[in-house]
Amino acid sequence: MRLLAFGQTGQVARELAALGVQTIGRADADLTDPEACAALIDASDAEAIINAAAYTAVDRAEEEEALARRVNADAPGAMARACAAKDVPFVHISTDYVFDGTGRAARGPGDATAPLGAYGRTKLAGEVAVREAGGAHVILRTSWVFSAHGANFVKTMLRLGSERDRLSIVADQVGGPTPAHAIAGACVAMAGQLGRSPGKTGTYHLAGAPDVSWADFARAIFAGAGLPCAVEDIRSSAYPTPARRPMNSRLDCTATEAVFAIPRPDWRTGLRDVMRTLESAA
């Protein structure tokens, strides 16, 4: 199946390229120009489109919401409409930030959304635009993405853990760390199945298992790397950020496995793979 993915330098885009998917970056597809993205789809012979590109600077989005909306909502909407016009499946990556993070239960795809900040609002607007386009699509919400590429929590912890003997890490935010490789694989599988069965159109979740706090995730990273850095649990209020983070990022992924036969990835296995990749590159 000929696949085309928007995004080239991001974590999921890098993993899509490793799977043989053609990826396009900013030089060829500027997401601040939604109609140019749509025109690129019009001219493509791809059999399915994946959008792995986004404005992801969560804190900066508080000051740049208009730009974030252009990239996270207007561009995916234009892509989805172009795909619908050609009857081409569209897979779009979204986020747990569309929820308010209250409670302790895992959020399902149909649960009420209530984003806490600009990033979540723009990603939710993108979901709405994709649905309103009316074509065969999958909106895949995910969380806490990590890989051997780019900037992410795992790489930050490995760096800080090698420099310090103690770190204070937020312990009251809980979610599922998700390997970018697993997200990429899910996007490819979903695009293929959607092409054969457009009735699978809808919103789905994919997050790593088991759910864990940031502090316990950090402990697992240090243990896997053999770093003696100790972790002190702190509350989110002790580490204020411009944008509020969801306290509960647990995602119910049962529909993803039921419809697409894609189970939740074990982040511990993904973490070992990432560490091996980073060690071999050192």
So which residues are the catalytic ones? 119
Which token pair is 49?
């489109």
By CB atoms closer than 10 A (0-12, 13-18, 19+), residue 226 is exposed
Q: Which of 175, 179, 171, 12 is nearest to 91 (CA)?
A: 12
Supply the DSSP symbol for 60: G
Q: Which of 48, 61, 4 is nearest to 28 (CA)?
A: 4
- Residue 28 and residue 46: Cα distance in Å, rounded? 16
- Residue 75 and residue 19: Cα distance in Å, rounded? 24
- Residue 95 and residue 139: Cα distance in Å, rounded? 9
- Residue 262 and residue 202: Cα distance in Å, rounded? 15
- Residue 81 and residue 88: Cα distance in Å, rounded? 10
Which token pair is 108?
């399902």
By CB atoms closer than 10 A (0-12, 13-18, 19+), residue 139 is buried
- Residue 6 and residue 24: Cα distance in Å, rounded? 5
Q: Which of 209, 214, 210 is nearest to 236 (CA)?
A: 214
* N residues, the chain: 282
